[in-house]
Structure 1
């Protein structure tokens, strides 16, 4: 079970996540209240040993994404916009493709997209991600499980509900940002509790 703590903007928060056992850490380079400038992200990234580094982008120029990926030593590029399959292939890095889930969602539409992981997130008109709202896991479960690609789940996850998301959807990973914040700032206690809850839920799934 991959646990990703996203929207990190400080070395302290990144270190807390790493010490608590996160697998991946994420930096948002798209327009967002959690956006971090590339230079600051690079300082954090180069100080961290262990966690996989992910950069989040939305419809940004290919050269810009490549430059940031090199500067920050990103392991994965996470795409949240209308980036084409050719765009994804041109990155020459592993890709996570965000897919927004609504009542008409069909994972088959992403079956041919060149991505290493799909990220199922809540559809909210006008927002590319980071909504803080969970989609209906039970309603979407049968469709999501038809996906032939590895996938992560995001959207409204918290230390209190991540175990339910794992139990219902059985994802390859979970991705959280706002659910481990207090007043818009990463909360060390919530980070620790989220990771612990995800690990416990994953262990229970394996023992079934």
Structure 2
């Protein structure tokens, strides 16, 4: 059976209007990407401005956690950027080790990229230490050329018995059309979407609302 509540993260937001639409539709987390060189990259000033406008315009009946995405960037810079933007969480998408993570000043989302051929018992061994350290885990598709937000999924069988653990979120290739099937198969604690709620590379408020509605009706 699906989990009673499936947490929802809308990621790769580049504008306040889309963030407001996601928040007002019932998202639990909003993601802002500060990773260098990716299509959805925000510079620190951009991110701070978007978050400030979002907080001004949102309906305060729902206040999602604000997540900044980073990858192998200077720890002090990550902390400074997160503070200036008023974020609540840091999502680490690279090879950051425990010494690096210990320098973070906010709670952690940890991206785990799932390689082809991975089986559930192997994935559980990777995920468990992060959960024991009170991190939220994002299970995403592995690619040598992309570090998330690719719109590609991994074999969901690898996440059987893993995605339904507390603080584990399923990502990779989700959209309004298939998220219900993902929930039926895996009962994930949460789901994370970026490209699946875009039209021609831009966040689409209608697809955001459709994605959240599909989850709520799953």
Aligned partners of 2:149, 2:11: CA distance in 1, in Å? 9
The answer to whether the Cα contact below 8 Å between 2:141 and 2:172 also exists between their aligned partners in 1 is yes
Aligned partners of 1:18, 1:142: CA distance in 2, in Å? 29
Instruction: Identify the residue that residue 72 of structure 2 maps to in structure 1.
Output: 59
Aligned partners of 1:82, 1:27: CA distance in 2, in Å? 19
Aligned partners of 1:159, 1:78: CA distance in 2, in Å? 24
Instruction: Identify the residue that residue 120 of structure 1 maps to in structure 2.
Output: 139
Aligned partners of 1:15, 1:109: CA distance in 2, in Å? 34
Aligned partners of 2:181, 2:102: CA distance in 1, in Å? 34
* Structure 1 segments unaligned to the other structure (5+ residues): 202-208
1:158-197 aligned at under 5 Å gives the runs 158-197=175-214
Instruction: Identify the residue that residue 206 of structure 1 maps to in structure 2.
Output: none
Aligned partners of 1:143, 1:131: CA distance in 2, in Å? 24
Change (3 A) 1:148 1:19: closer
Deviation at 1:125, TM superposition (A): 1.6
Residue 108 (structure 2) aligned to one of 91, 95, 115 = 95
Instruction: Identify the residue that residue 45 of structure 2 maps to in structure 1.
Output: 39
TM-score for the superposition, normalised by structure 2:
0.85
* Structure 2 segments unaligned to the other structure (5+ residues): 1-5
Aligned partners of 1:148, 1:6: CA distance in 2, in Å? 21
Deviation at 1:109, TM superposition (A): 2.4
Residue 12 (structure 1) aligned to one of 14, 17, 41 = 17
User: In the alignment, is residue 110 of structure 1 matched against residue 119 of structure 2?
Assistant: no
The alignment of Structure 1 onto Structure 2 pairs a total of residues equal to: 199
- For residues 107-142 of structure 1, the C-alpha deviation after alignment (integer angstroms, 9 at most, x for no partner) is 2123223352111001112321112111111x2133
What SS class does the counterpart of residue 160 from structure 2 fall into?
helix
TM-score for the superposition, normalised by structure 1:
0.89
- For residues 40-93 of structure 1, the C-alpha deviation after alignment (integer angstroms, 9 at most, x for no partner) is 211222332512100000100101100011001111110110000121122031
The answer to whether the Cα contact below 8 Å between 1:24 and 1:52 also exists between their aligned partners in 2 is yes
CA RMSD of aligned residues (A): 1.6
Aligned partners of 1:115, 1:124: CA distance in 2, in Å? 26
What SS class does the counterpart of residue 129 from structure 2 fall into?
coil
Higher RCO (C-alpha 8 Å, min separation 6): 2
Instruction: Identify the residue that residue 99 of structure 2 maps to in structure 1.
Output: 86
Runs (4+) of structure 1 exceeding 3 A deviation are none
Instruction: Identify the residue that residue 3 of structure 2 maps to in structure 1.
Output: none
